[in-house]
């Protein structure tokens, strides 16, 4: 169960990183942007993910894995709505960057949480297999991209493509509600409280 709940977040990240590649030609046509701006749209979430992993990932050490596990997907939903409703290109780039921060926050938290709750035997195999679910997200992105173009063959269908990730994110938020805190994190922080 813990493996699946962590892996589903990684799958969602794979979906988002892929779907922007399908949506960006439509965004370019809809907003009339140049190649440089199109590149910013495509790379904003990746840059945001690096920022989120590097600077916000350590929040899990301070606030707890389970708490961040929930908040990062709430951020994902909020910023996905922002992307979907973006009125012009620069607000879209900003929301894509903020969405990337949420994605970048999920990676180190998922890895830390799994490393702390999985049994030592075959832990490495379980961790690698969780991150391989990103490929499932990429396939989902391909299906949503093709399906979106077939159902709504319009230049504005990029909005629905970017917004589709909200649906699985909300499901994962509900499923993650009952996730307990990592026993190792609890033990470490209780011992620090006693020593301080």
Mean pLDDT of 163-183: 82
Query: How many angstroms separate the CA atoms of 97 and 192, rounded?
Result: 35
Q: Is the pLDDT of residue 172 over 80?
A: yes
Output Rg (C-alpha) for the chain, integer angstroms.
18
Going by pLDDT thresholds of 50, 70 and 90, the confidence category of residue 183 is low
Q: Is the pLDDT of residue 178 over 50?
A: yes
Q: How far is CA 81 from CA 23, 58, 75, 78, 185, in A?
A: 15, 26, 10, 5, 33
Report which of residues 71 and 82 the model is more confident about. 82
pLDDT (tens digit, 9 = 90+) per residue, 132-167? 888 889 999 989 988 888 888 889 999 999 999 999
pLDDT of residue 194: 44
Is the CB of residue 12 less than 8 Å from the CB of residue 168? yes
Among 5, 2, 14, 1, CA closest to 133: 14
Structure tokens at 55: 């600077």
pLDDT (tens digit, 9 = 90+) per residue, 96-121? 999 999 988 887 777 777 777 777 77
């Amino acid at each position: 169960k813990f493996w699946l709940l962590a892996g589903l977040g990684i799958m969602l990240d794979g979906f988002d990183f892929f779907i922007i590649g399908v949506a960006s030609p439509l965004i370019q046509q809809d907003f009339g942007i140049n190649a440089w701006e199109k590149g910013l749209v495509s790379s904003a979430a990746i840059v945001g993910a690096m920022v989120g992993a590097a600077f916000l990932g350590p929040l899990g050490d301070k606030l707890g894995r389970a708490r961040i596990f929930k908040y990062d997907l709430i951020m994902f939903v909020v910023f996905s709505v922002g992307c979907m409703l973006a009125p012009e290109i620069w607000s879209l780039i900003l929301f894509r960057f903020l969405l990337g921060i949420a994605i970048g926050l999920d990676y180190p938290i998922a890895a830390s949480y799994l490393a702390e709750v999985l049994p030592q035997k075959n832990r490495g195999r379980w961790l690698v297999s969780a991150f391989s679910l990103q490929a499932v997200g990429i396939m989902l992105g391909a299906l949503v991209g093709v399906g979106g173009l077939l159902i709504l063959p319009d230049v504005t269908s990029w909005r629905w493509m970017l917004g589709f990730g909200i649906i699985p994110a909300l499901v994962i938020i509900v499923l993650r509600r009952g996730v307990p805190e990592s026993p190792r994190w609890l033990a470490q922080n209780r011992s620090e409280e006693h020593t301080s």
